[in-house]
Amino acid sequence: MSAPPDLPDVVSRAFEVSRRAGYASFCRNETGRLLAMLAATREGTMAEFGTGCGVGTAWLRSGVRGEQTRIVSAELDPRLAGAAAEIFADDPQVEVLSADWSMLLDKGPFSLLFLDSGEPTEVGVDAIADLVESGGIVVLDDFTPCEMWPPISYGRVDTLREQWLTDERFTTVEVLVAPDAATLIATKR
């Protein structure tokens, strides 16, 4: 697992840290480029819940334009959090915490929040809505594309995707980032 040569330096470093840590579960380059583009439009504080070894955080950082913009990222696994923190050790704009995402609640509201589409009770709209500023963006990745309604995943209604696509507090779109991968992008009204 090595990074393609056309990646931003910080993302290449994150791939190397992930490789050394034996961690192969990270955001895809297609999603990463989307994150970098969205980060370039944001100011204030951005966050990632579920850092892993920092590849998603690195993509966010590669898009940041302002010197006052900050990124905070929480990873529950102390070993992974330590590996990710090494990438950003000399970067005052990025803070990686070895903590549950709930430890970031007092660091918001966030202008951009990146989440893995993991457990619906943790990343459902109700758990996240108050963490995002008005006009802020939430990005959820790791969805399997679905062209039907209600959305079906693994033979069941995908209630997480359904929540985000129908909640009146957000305007949400599902974006195909690759033939086998979709991302939800939600803007808080």
Residue range 159-171, pLDDT digits in tens: 889 999 999 999 9
Taking Cα atoms as reference points, which of 82, 64, 70, 67 lies closest to residue 10?
64
Domain covering 9-188, topology:
Rossmann fold (3.40.50)
How much is the pLDDT for 20? 82
Are residues 57 and 84 in contact, defined by beta-carbon separation less than 8 angstroms?
A: yes
Between 33 and 151, the more confident residue is: 33
Distance CA 138, CA 48 (A): 10
The whole-model pTM stands at 0.89
SS3 56: helix
Q: Which span out of 44-53, 88-97, 142-151, 153-162 was modeled with the highest average pLDDT? A: 88-97
Q: Which residues contact 82 (CB under 8 A, 6 or more apart)?
A: 98
Are residues 164 and 125 in contact, defined by beta-carbon separation less than 8 angstroms?
A: yes
Between 10 and 6, the more confident residue is: 10
Q: Answer whether residue 64 shows pLDDT above 80.
A: yes
Between 72 and 142, the more confident residue is: 72
Q: Answer whether residue 16 shows pLDDT above 50.
A: yes
- Strand residues in the chain grouped as ranges (E): 45-49, 70-75, 94-98, 110-116, 132-143, 152-153, 156-157, 170-178, 181-188
Distance CA 12, CA 15 (A): 5
The mean pLDDT value of the chain amounts to 89
> Across the strands, what pairs with 46?
71, 112
Q: Answer whether residue 26 shows pLDDT above 80.
A: no
The residues spanned by each domain of the chain are 9-188
- Number of neighbouring beta carbons within 10 Å of residue 71: 25
SS3 160: helix
Distance CA 1, CA 141 (A): 21
**Strand 70-75 to strand 110-116: parallel, antiparallel, or no bridges (unpaired)?**
unpaired
Length of the chain measured in residues: 189
Tens digits of per-residue pLDDT, 100-156? 888 888 888 999 999 875 655 567 899 889 999 999 999 999 888 988 888 888 888
